[in-house]
Each structure stands twice: as structure tokens, then as C-alpha cells.
Amino acid sequence: MKGVAAPTPTANAAQTTNAAQTANAAQTANAAQTANDVGRAFMVIDEIMDGCPGEVDGLRLGDRVCAVGNVTWGFEDPSSSPPPEVLRNATQTFAENENDVVRVVVLRRGERVVVEVTPRAWSGRGLVGCHMRSL
């Protein structure tokens, strides 16, 4: 009686590698789609404290913020300036999500980048440690 041949270790390794590559490509595509599904930049990080949560999590001086959680702006009228409540709502999103991850989409060197920021207490002021001003 002939048995079923067991898969070779090389075949298993190739299947595992292909599956991992496919999963990584899907994650990259989803991140790119998420980053592009936001409006225009509405504020810029013009000050960032050394060692603050924002810096540790990946925000950088000069990042132009396009989204903070669900707060976005810029689809309605491309010629208008961001209203004051957009900045307030972004700040409030950080405050309401202390110790929880907040998805922040920034424009950095011409590319949209998704940064996961966890607002939290630290030795400095605020939960993120960045000053952001309206554009």
C-alpha cells in the first residue's frame, strides 16, 4: 500500500514565506489606503519635547497633521482654512484616549505616514508633549 508523501521541508518553508509576504503586502496596502483616506493637513507640529510620548511614538518636528483619530478636515472646501474647532477636536481626541492608541496621519517629506501615538502621563506637560498650531 502506498502512502501519501509527506511535504518536503523546503516546500513548507516556501509556503510559509509566501504567506508571510502576502500578509505583509496586505498590511502595507491597508496602511497606505488608510493614510490616503484623510483630508488635507490642518495643523503642524512646531515644537516637540525630548523624550515625550509623541516623539517616542514617532511624531517629528515639522510633521503636518492630516488626521488625529477620526478628526479630519479639508474635503469640503479646498480653498478654506481649518476652523478652530478642528484643532480643539484633535486635542480633545488625545485627552479622551489617555493610555490608548490614537492613529495619527501626518504628511512628512511629501508622503503620508501613519503614526500610532499613545497619549500618556510623562515628566513634562500634556499627554503627547508636542505643540501643534493650525495651518
82 & 116 share domain: yes
Q: Is residue 115 part of a domain?
A: yes
Residue type, 14: A
CA-atom Rg of the chain in angstroms: 21
Q: Could you tell me if 32 and 88 lie in one domain?
A: no
pLDDT, one tens digit per residue, over 78-105 is 667 888 899 999 999 999 999 999 999 9
pLDDT by residue (tens digit) across 10-67? 444 444 444 444 444 444 444 444 455 567 899 999 999 999 999 999 999 999 999 9
Q: Are residues 28 and 57 in the same domain?
A: no
> Would you state the pLDDT for residue 24?
43
pLDDT of residue 36: 56
For residue 1, is it within any domain? no
Residue range(s) defining the domain that contains residue 98: 39-134
b/e per residue 62-87 (b: at least 16 CB within 10 A): ebbbbbbbebbbbeeeeeeebeeebb
How many domains are there within the chain?
2
Q: For residue 77, tell me if it sits in a domain.
A: yes
Q: Is residue 127 included in any domain, yes or no?
A: yes
